[in-house]
Amino acid sequence: MDSALFSDREKAALLWAEHVTKNTARSRDDVYETVRKSFSESEVVELTFLTAYFNMRNRLNDSLKMPIEEHTDVSKIKKTLNVNTDKVKQFLQHTLDNWPDEFPEPNPDD
CA separation for the pair 19, 22 (Å, rounded): 5
Q: Parse the chain into domains and list their residue ranges.
A: 1-69
Are 52 and 25 in contact by the 8 Å Cβ rule? The answer is no
pLDDT score of 83 more than 90: no
CATH class (in words) of the domain with range 1-69 = mainly alpha
**Chain segment 10-57, per-residue pLDDT in tens:** 999 999 999 999 999 999 999 999 999 999 999 999 999 999 999 999
Confidence band for 1, pLDDT divided at 50, 70 and 90: confident
Residue 100: its pLDDT value, please? 86
